[in-house]
């Protein structure tokens, strides 16, 4: 049998295409809150929307721009006025510094020349008025350079110390790192003197009976002059005998202990000839006036010992 078409009078109406998006539809249809809409409608009815607020904002912005422009203009004008003055003062200050530096250099040069002259006169006085032992006095005081057989002793920090290492030492008078200390060099020099050295110098710095070996941080000072490692000690004397006597002495054993226990690097060798300079300056402790020589018309100012 042929099928009958459905009865349209009893069928339900078709669903809206956006029925499943009711929340989104509500948001789109009512995007503006009712309170905001009412307030906007009242402002439109009163005719007060936009004009006062816009005018006030424009006036405030204009006033701010005027103030900013005024500040910038005043700052630029002040800088333009003060720039030449500052530049002139700076140039004057630089000129003064250069002049004072030149004056200080000139005075330092004069001091060096006077120091050399005084040292030379002291040496001559020791040689002329030292009597039969004049040469020996000049030698022992460091007033004259000396040359002859001797020993060369080199003392240097441990290798690990170059990279900031070096193991700690015991609390037996040694330094606390692998570095050579002032007390180490004091013992080395005293050991050489006791072993028969006639003259001693460290890194070209001649030592006398008045010399001092001190420390300033990690630096070693000899007569307030800094030295850098390795420390080369030259001593004038009977080379082989001096070397043997020093190594057998208590100070030589001390240096050997530093080498064995803390990697302090040392080497000693006898030399056929070493040359030591004269001491840079002598300090006169006592002086005696001498009678004038009427025959020559000259007078000696005195004689001194250092």
DSSP string over 37-89:
HHHHHHHHHHT-SSHHHHHHHHHHHHHHHHHHHHHHHHHHHHHHHHHHHHHHH
Report residues of the chain scoring pLDDT below 50. Answer: 1-3, 8-9, 48-51, 163-175, 292-306
**What's the pLDDT score for residue 208?**
84
Q: Do 133 and 73 fall within a single domain? A: yes
Q: How far apart are CA 124 and CA 147, in angstroms?
A: 19
Residue that terminates a domain, selected from 110, 144, 178: 144
7, 12, 15, 19: CA torsion to nearest 10: -170
The answer to whether position 258 is within a domain reads yes
Residues 6+ apart with CB under 8 A from 191: 246, 249, 250, 251, 252, 254, 255
**Tell me, what's the pLDDT at 244?**
93
| Pair (97, 200) in one structural domain | no
pLDDT at 250: 94
Same domain for 183 and 117, yes or no, is: no
For residue 298, what pLDDT is reported? Answer: 36
Q: Counting beta carbons within 10 angstroms of the beta carbon of residue 122, is it exposed (0 to 12), middle (13 to 18) or buried (19 or more)?
A: buried
Q: Which residue range is the domain that position 174 belongs to?
A: 146-276
CB hemisphere CA count around 141 (13 angstroms): 24
Q: At 253, which CATH number? A: 3.30.70.1880
Could you give the CA distance from residue 128 to residue 105 in angstroms, rounded to a whole number? 35
Q: What is the pLDDT of residue 47?
A: 55
Tell me: do 165 and 196 sit in the same domain: yes
In this structure, the answer to whether residues 139 and 171 fall within a common structural domain is no
pLDDT for the residue numbered 176 = 53
Q: How many domains does the chain have?
A: 2
Q: How far apart are the first and last CA of the chain?
A: 151
Which one, of 228, 239, 238, 140, lies nearest residue 185 by Cα?
A: 228
Task: Check residue 289 and give its pLDDT.
Answer: 59
Phi, psi at residue 7, to the nearest 5°?
-80, 110
**CA dist., res. 209 & res. 211, Å (int):** 6
Tell me whether residue 304 is in a domain: no
8 A C-beta contact, residue 261 and residue 230 = no
What pLDDT is stored for residue 173 in this prediction?
A: 45
Q: For residue 140, give the 3-state DSSP assignment.
A: helix
Cα distances from 114 to residues 46, 103, 122, 263, in angstroms, run 102, 17, 12, 45
Same domain, 39 and 84: yes
Are residues 136 and 174 located together in one domain of the fold? no
Main-chain phi, psi angles of 64, to 5 degrees: -60, -40
Residue 163: per-residue pLDDT: 45
Q: What are the distances in angstroms from CA 34 to CA 29, 45, 232?
A: 12, 16, 98
The SS3 assignment for 115 reads: helix
The pLDDT value given to residue 113: 86
The answer to whether 127 touches 193, Cβ cutoff 8 Å, is no
CA distances 171 to 168, 186, 214, 260, Å, are 9, 18, 20, 16
Residues 180 and 223 in one domain: yes
Q: Are residues 156 and 115 in the same domain?
A: no
**Alpha-carbon gap, residue 179 to 164, rounded angstroms:** 10
Whole-structure pTM value? 0.52
Q: Report long-range pairs for 79-88 (Cβ below 8 Å, ≥24 apart).
A: none
Tell me: do 152 and 266 sit in the same domain.
Answer: yes
Identify the H or E element spanning 194.
helix 182-194
């Amino acid at each position: 049998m042929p099928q009958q078409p459905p009865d349209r009078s009893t069928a339900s109406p078709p669903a809206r295409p956006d029925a499943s998006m009711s929340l989104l539809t509500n948001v789109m249809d009512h995007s503006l809150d009712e309170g905001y809409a009412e307030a906007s409608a009242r402002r439109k009815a009163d005719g007060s929307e936009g004009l006062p607020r816009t005018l006030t904002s424009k006036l405030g912005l204009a006033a701010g721009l005027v103030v900013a422009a005024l500040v910038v203009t005043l700052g630029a004008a002040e800088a333009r006025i003060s720039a030449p003055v500052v530049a002139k003062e700076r140039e004057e200050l630089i000129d003064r510094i250069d002049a004072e530096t030149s004056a200080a250099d000139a005075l330092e040069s004069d001091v060096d020349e006077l120091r050399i002259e005084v040292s030379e006169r002291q040496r001559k006085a020791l040689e002329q008025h030292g009597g039969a032992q004049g040469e020996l006095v000049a030698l022992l005081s460091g007033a004259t350079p000396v040359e002859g057989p001797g020993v060369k002793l080199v003392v240097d920090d441990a290798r690990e110390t170059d990279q900031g290492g070096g193991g700690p030492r015991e609390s037996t008078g040694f330094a606390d790192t692998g570095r050579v200390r002032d007390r180490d060099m004091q013992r080395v020099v005293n050991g050489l003197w006791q072993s028969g050295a006639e003259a001693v110098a460290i890194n070209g710095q001649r030592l006398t009976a008045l010399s001092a070996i001190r420390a300033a941080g990690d630096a070693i000072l000899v007569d307030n002059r800094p030295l850098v490692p390795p420390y080369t000690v030259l001593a004038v004397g009977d080379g082989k005998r001096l070397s043997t006597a020093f190594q057998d002495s208590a100070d030589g054993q001390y240096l050997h202990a530093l080498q064995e226990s803390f990697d302090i690097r040392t080497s000693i060798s006898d030399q056929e000839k070493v040359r030591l300079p004269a001491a840079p300056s002598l300090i006169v402790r006592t002086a005696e006036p001498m009678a004038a020589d009427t025959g020559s018309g000259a007078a000696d100012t005195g004689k001194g010992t250092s």
